[in-house]
Structures are given as C-alpha cells and as structure tokens.
Chains A and B, each alone.
Chain A
C-alpha cells in the first residue's frame, strides 16, 4: 500500500465532497445560503393557518310576494340546474324562502378563485331569461376567504353617557377611512353602528283625533324635503349666476313645524300629532354590545361599534396589524377627549407572530438539545459541525418556500420541526463515519482529504437511497384531497426540500468543516 492511488469517489456524495473540500467557493456558498434564508424569513408573510383556496359564489334572487314553494319552482330549481353545467363545482346548495331564493355553488378545494367566480357570473348572465319577469336582478356574491375574514377587529365604546350611538358611529367611520388607506388593507367594515335619522313618531290617537291619515303626513313632509341641484343662469353680460335652493328642513325642529293640515285657518303642525326627534335608526334591530373586565371587575354592558380590517391575499398579517395599531394610536388622545375608548378584540397578526415565534423558539431549543446530545456522543467539534448544518438546510428550505409563494404558518413550521429530526441525520451519518475512519487503522496511511472523501463517499449510496425513501413517504401526501389535504400541504411541500437540502449540505459542508475543525488522531500502527 505504499504507492496507493488517490481515492476515486464512486458516489455523488464523494464527488461533491472532493469538489468542495478545498474550494474557496464553499465558504461563500455557505454565507450566501444563510443570507438568503434569513432574507426569506424576514420577507415571507406570516399567518397562523395556511392559506386555502376556497372558491364559491352565492346567487341571490329576490321576488317580493312569492312564497317559498313558488321561489323553489321558478327560481331555485332552474338556477341549480344551470349551475350544474359548470365544471369544478362540488356542491350546490339551494334555499328557497318567502320573497327570496338563494343558490350557493361551492367549488372543489383548490379550484382557482377568479376563474370560478367568472364561470358562475357567466352562467347566470347567459341565462337571465330563465328567471321570471317579476324577479329582481340576481345578485352574485363571490366568496373570498382572504378578504372576507378580518384579521383585526376593533371595538369602539364610550363610558360617557353623552356620547350617543350616532356620534360613535361617525367617529368610527372617519377612522375606518384612514385605516382603509393603509397599504395592503383590503376591506374595512363596521358592525353595530347606528346612523343618523330624523324620527317622526306619530301618535295614533291624535291622528284619528284630528281625522288625518298617514298619507297626508308623507305628502307634506315630501313637499318640503326636496333637494334640487344648483341652478345656473346668465346675466345679459354673459356672467354666471348660481342659485342654490336650500332645503327647507335643517333640523328636527323644522320638521316639527311642518304644517300637515289646516282646518278653518288653524294649522296643525306635525309636532302636534307626532314626536319628532333627531336620533338614530332605531328600526335597525342589529346592535353590538361589549363588556370588558377592568381592574378585575366587569363593567356594565356598553354599546359598541366594531371596525373590522381584512388584508389582501399573500400579504403579511403581522406588518398590517402593527400599522393599524400605530394608526389607531394617533387617534387615541383625540378619541379620549371625546370620551371614546377602543380595544382590539381580534388580532390575527399578533397571534400569527406569537405562533410563529413560539415554533421558531421550539426549533432553536430542539437544535440546542440535539447539539448537546452530540457533544456527549461524538465530541464537541462534531456536534458543532452538525449544529451548523441545520441553519444552512433550513435556509435553503425557507428560500425555496419563499420562491414558491408559501407563507410562514403553523403547518410550515411543523413541517420544519418534523424534518428537523430527519435533516440532521445525513450530517450525523457523515460525521460519524468520518469520526470512525479517523480512528480506524486504515486511515493512518491516507491523507486527511482522502479519508474525508472516502468516509463521505462510503455512506453516500445508502444515505441517498434512505433519504429518497423518506421523500417517497411524503410525496403521496401531496395528493390527499379535500380541505385537510390543502391544510397540510406545507408538509409534503417542505419536508422533501429540506431532506434534499440536508443531503447536499451534509456532503458539501460536513467534510469541509470537518477538515477545519477536526484533528486526525496520530496513529502509531496500533489496531
């Protein structure tokens, strides 16, 4: 064995190890990988649950006066049959009620949203003639899971009795507009608000006492509350004169002073037979209340207005919720002066961030535990090498996930946690074999490089096959259908990537780092 040939690697593992072992590229490649991984971690949108593509549309057709049975026969059934013609629909739900028919088409999970909405719209528009003449125009409302579900809800309330519901609502609407202007905010809406309204509440007894009808009141109010656009006229010199006719009503008092009827010279004012007030739309039965624990004690239930904020698809819930919070902070003092307070009643951004941070923490803890274990099992140098491969592998996986438009969510991180146990394997196997070769008699006659390449090459074939086997277990999972399949998609999408990355990192960086960190023990011919 004096003039032995340099070891010729047979496997891709040994070849990679040989190529990168003395290459200056290795360090640059390593730093580059870590950098793109870190960038991806920063740039990728974070959310709690993975995004699911759920498409569906609801068609609402109103036909006042029709009974549920009629609606079923002339609206719901024909519409259902027409929607059956559309490809990709999983279920069609019909609901026929008095006056209105509702048909909902739910597409298979994963059917592309825009296309599906368009298909439904097309189908309905092409078949407008099947709807009865007396029916109103169909309303088509597509379901949009991304912008329908708010990521934040903020409840505005006031302890101050003088702040009435309409004032609260006005203020919330002002803020709503500002928040809607923030980048990536899709929809803002309010719940529980009450609008301004002049209420005329007629006393039925007085009405009959004066021998009046409701119709008369309507006519007299209508005749005064009439708006016309500005009138434009010209002088003889060609100048413009603008005239605007002011609405005769300006306050509740003005309405009360409307003359409803005249009996022999004495006028009957509206205020004589009705209570006129400048109030809110009390006929709107919808209202929102809130009770909050303050200093351990629940305060009384208060009226509230909820502002909801939803984000555009694929944007970062964490950033948006922070921006909304900052924006609200600007109004805090101003609101306080008016006696209005607010609390966040939902913050998915914060929840996503917490969930992600917690899992990242878990990842770090796991890595630390494994590296401590390896210190005892193999030695601190070996442990350091294995520990260093983990960020590199995760960086590659994150970058691929970023390129494929994924988000960081609970399931992605679980995929990482799941793969963590698997992805250190390749490095452990390589380092263990290097360790074994370093301490075996055969290595005594070989150069360090040769031992490293040989050790890596030796386990290349079984490691490749074994890793391939694990990848094979993950691939069929991508074909699991329904919502559950869509929900756990990050697992088959990321684990194989992490495993392939782990192979390359183990073959390229482990021998390279071993050369730098590990010392070959001196052998004096002992077995």
Chain B
C-alpha cells in the first residue's frame, strides 16, 4: 500500500498539470463543502437533544384559574402518560413546582405557588432498555396532549420540558419586548405570539405575563360604616374568615408531634357561590352579618358596594426596562432557522402599524406609527447563547490559529512553511462538514453541526498540523543532513511518515467512534473522524504538492547555516 502511495505522490509531483489539478480540486471541494452551511444542507444548532430517563410537563392555566381546573387538565395529561408503555411512574405536583432540576431553575419552578400551575414529572425506562429516545417521545406526545388537554380550560398551556444537553436557558427562543407603555408591550407581545404560532417548527409558545382576569372589588362605604358603628377591619376580617378561613388558635397537642392550628371558616356547602355573577355574590354577602357595638347584627351588603373590575397584571422589567417575554420551544429543529423565519415574518406583518428598523445583528426596533412610542425586540434564550458561544468559539479558533502559526514561525523561521502547515490543517474542515452531511444522510433525525463539532474542529487544527510537522521535519533532516534532492526528500518523507500518521489517525478515529454515538458529543466524534481523514489526505497529498511548489532549500536555510545542501546531494548519489 505504501509503495502505491509512493508511486502516486511521485506521479503527482513530477507533473505540473497534476499538481495544479490537485490544488484546484482541493479548492473546489473546500468551497463546495463550506457552501453546505449557508444552503442549510448541513444545519447548525447549539446542542442536540439528550436522551434522558425523565422529562417534565409544565401546566400553566391563566391567572385566576382554580386548583380544580388545574387538576382537570392534569388528569387529562396523566391519562396520556399512562398510555405510554415506557413510562414507569409519574408524579403530579399541583399548585407548585416539582422538585427543582436544572431546567426548572431557569424557568422559575421554585417560585410557583398558585392554584393555576402544576408540574408533572414523568420517569421513563432506562435509556438502554428503550428504543425511542426521550426527545422523540416528547416530540410524539406533545401535539396529541396539547390538542386534547389544552381546550379543557381556555388559555391553558402545556409545555414539555426536557433536561438540556448543555447549559439551561429560559426557552429555545425568547423574544424580549421592551417599551415604556405596558399596554403597548402587551399588544406587541401578542402580535409576536401570533407570528410564532404561524411559524413551523415552533411549539410551546407562550407569553410570560399575567393574564388579565375578572375580579370583584368590595368597596367600603365610609359614611355607612361610621353610621352603623362598624369598622373597616371588621369587614375585612369577616370576609377573610368566612370565605378564605383563618387559623384562630394554636393547640399544643399531646398526640401529635407538632402544634395543631384551629382553623375557622364557613362550611363548603354554605361557602361556595352559586355562580360567578354579581347577584349571587351579593346574595352570599348579605347573609354574612357583623355585630356592631350595640350588639346589632348588620349584613355586610349594607355597608359595602360590590364592583366588578379587572385584575392588575404584574409588571416585569429587565435591567430597569419594562419587558415581557414571548417564549417558544423548537420541535427537533435547530432554533436558528425558525427564528430567522419568525423575524422576517415579523418584519412583514407588523410593518403596517410599526416602523421597523434593525439594531445589531438580529434585534429590532419598532416605532408605533400612531402613538410614536418606541418598542424594542431583543432575542434571548438558547439562540443568544448559541450565537455567543459560536462567536466565542470562533474567537478561540482564530486565537488558536494565530498561536500555532507563531509557534511554527518560531520553529521554522519561515512564514511560507508555517503557512503551508496551517493551510494543510485548515483543509480538515472539508471532512468536518462533509462528515456531518454524510451522517445526516444515514440517521433518522437531523444531525446538526453543533458547538461540540466546532470544538472538534479546533482540536483538529492541532492534530493535522502535527501530521504536516512530522513530515516536514523529516524532509528537512533528509535535505539538510543527508542532502537529498527536495522532491525526493518530500516523497521519501511522505512515505516514511505515512505509517505513524496513519496509525495516529486511526487511533483518533477509533477513539472517536464511541464519541460519535453520544447524543451531545456526537458532533465532536463525527468532526474528529471525518476531519482526521480529510487531514491525513491533505497532509499526504496537498502538503507535499505545496511543499514541492515552494523553494524548500531556502526555507530550510541551507545557505545561512553553512550547510551546502546541494553538495551533499552528490555524495549521497555516489553512495548509491
């Protein structure tokens, strides 16, 4: 095999046309593979899904919903969970968050404490005993459960939450809507939600703000109160006591190990209102009576007025600016492409009522045409982390390139030689991208170019430069010490060094095969496997061609060092 390689390289190096052909083909291949990314043939994502042994379902009803309504939705969700044969057990936490996990931490599970929320933890069989990865299971269940359980209570949202493969984020896509006017933010947020709803690939869409719901306000008539000899406190207390209940005393128990409160309220039969309308509220309140200083019993309705009002939604801010989040998850697709699509559709649909301009790379500034108020739409969530990470990794990559180049320049004292090595190692990108394309063809779901692929690529620069280094170093010692002719030296060095280069490459490929099967680090594995192959080919074919094209003797400083390379050549040939 090595002899064949010898012939091939010799063959290429002897003909100028073939040398040019190798370089042109390499260049074309390089351009073609890099183009796979902008043409979305190889898709980019932060981190792929992770196959977990459990996932959670977060159920959010509109504010003002009762625990019974929440329970009804949970019941429905539970039924679907029980139909899954891989589920081992499920825990429902009504009115609170489930025990905190890393995803819950950023989604604020630990602050959940109201009747309209619930979380369900679903434990499934161990991943080795299960064919379907958890992320595909979630993808399959999500539309079915949402379609049949969300309509039970109007406005209910059911979100499927998986443990993230990497660092947790609030959601895959987060649109932060900033502005000075709360109602304006509310309107814009729902417009963005509508756009998200129409964007394919986005699920679990929600606006993270309080819904405005109907409330009744009991207004105390101050004149009537003072005339009847009652106090506002009495009114407040009686309402609270009768309808909400209050612990009125504590009993130190001998039978139980804790203090036992004595809790007073109306019985459920007499407490519950007949209906939500004003009349039944008034009816109920009129039967609640207060005793005044003279010992007379006065119905509450005598001293108060009952007015229906709207609830006050909470006001959220980030970094001192009023803000509302519109969130969405992505369903097995990269968050990059739905975001771009949603963005362009926002530009399209909202331009009727807003003047839209771009700030930064993706963020938008919207100016209301009627009121002239300015809103901002900033993207956050996994998308922002992805962008930041890729920018950081790109920076790390450039820094690595510069460091290696400088190292080589110091070692060889030649820019051209160092450049050849760098170029040779950079070509491993062909393998990285092509590898992702090939893997994507063979597996069922999309194989993304992820942050770990990029880590693999950065490592490859070092690995491939080692191949070229060993080759050039050997060629140098052949030329300088033994006085071989450059062309022969290159071929001889290539063949001699091919064994360790191939061996180390195979070692890397074998070590990476097991990486490639991992959901998260698959990208790293694939990048290393195919990148190494490309790197080896580039070191054994392209680097020799480039070396041959450059004036090797000059770069090895034959003359400066006083070693007369060319004279030695003669000696060597005599020996033969």
Contacts and interface: CB of A to CB of B under 8 A. Distances in A.
Interface of A: 49, 52, 67-69, 71-72, 76-77, 80-81, 84, 91-98, 102, 143, 145, 148-150, 153, 155, 170, 173, 191-192, 195-205, 208, 211, 213-218, 221-222, 225-227, 247, 249-250, 255, 274-275, 281, 283, 285-293, 298, 301, 304, 306, 308, 343, 345-346, 351, 362, 365-366, 369-370, 373-374, 377-378, 410, 414, 417-418, 420-422, 424-425, 428-429, 432-433, 436, 458-459, 461-463, 465-477, 479-488, 491, 495
B392 interface: yes
Interface string B48-61: 00000110000000
A77 B320 CA distance: 7
Contacts of B395: 476, 479
Interface in B109-134: 110-111, 113, 115, 121, 123
Contacts of A192: 93
B78 A291 contact: yes
A201 B507 contact: no
Contacts of A195: 258, 260-261
B549 interface: no
Contacts of A291: 78, 81-82, 89-90, 92
B115 A472 contact: no
Contacts of A96: 314-317
A214 B264 contact: yes
B92 A373 contact: no
Contacts, number: 388
Given A203-B270, A289-B91, A472-B400, A196 B287 contact: no
B297 A211 contact: yes
Contacts of B403: 472-473, 475-476
Contacts of A462: 466, 469-470, 473-474
B411 A93 contact: no
Given A94-B317, A214-B241, A484 B92 contact: no
Contact of A471 (B96, B264, B462): B462
Given A196-B253, A472-B407, A491-B455, A425 B261 contact: no
B504 A424 contact: yes
Interface in B533-576: none
Most A CB within 10 A of own CB, among B262, B313, B389: B262
The 7 closest A-B pairs by CB, nearest first: A470-B462, A483-B167, A421-B508, A466-B466, A476-B396, A225-B249, A204-B270
Nearest to A211: B297
Given A288-B93, A432-B500, 19 more contacts: A68-B312, A91-B319, A92-B318, A96-B315, A202-B270, A204-B287, A275-B267, A286-B113, A292-B88, A343-B89, A373-B503, A377-B503, A417-B521, A420-B511, A473-B462, A484-B167, A486-B167, A488-B451, A491-B455
Contact of B248 (A49, A149, A221, A476): A221
Nearest to B297: A211
B263 A198 contact: yes
B8 interface: no
Contact of A421 (B95, B210, B265, B507): B507
A288 to B, nearest CB: 5
Nearest to A283: B245
A321 to B, nearest CB: 14
Given A204-B271, A293-B89, A373 B507 contact: yes
Nearest to B237: A215
Nearest to A273: B267
B195 interface: no
Interface string B262-287: 11111111110000000000000001
Interface string B469-512: 11001100100000000000000000010011001101111111
A187 B433 CA distance: 47
Contacts of A479: 392, 395-396, 399
Given A218-B264, A343-B89, A69 B95 contact: no
A309 B166 CA distance: 23
B257 to A, nearest CB: 7
A296 to B, nearest CB: 9
A98 B244 CA distance: 18
Interface stretch (B26-34, B100-108, B342-350, B368-376): B100-108
Nearest to B388: A482
Given A198-B261, A377-B499, A213 B290 contact: yes
B515 A418 contact: yes
Given A247-B251, A287-B94, A414-B521, A425 B466 contact: yes
A334 B463 CA distance: 61
Given A94-B317, A213-B291, A476-B399, A221 B407 contact: no
B87 interface: yes
27 contacts: A68-B314, A81-B320, A84-B320, A150-B100, A153-B99, A191-B93, A196-B253, A198-B263, A201-B268, A202-B267, A215-B237, A215-B291, A225-B251, A286-B95, A291-B78, A291-B89, A293-B87, A346-B54, A366-B514, A424-B504, A461-B473, A471-B462, A474-B458, A476-B458, A482-B389, A487-B166, A491-B455
Given A287-B95, A428-B507, A466 B470 contact: yes
A358 to B, nearest CB: 9
B364 to A, nearest CB: 20
Given A218-B241, A473-B400, A473-B458, A465 B270 contact: no
Contacts of A196: 253, 256, 258, 260
A102 B108 CA distance: 13
Contact of A481 (B318, B392, B504): B392
B459 A473 contact: yes
Nearest to B509: A421
A68 B182 CA distance: 12
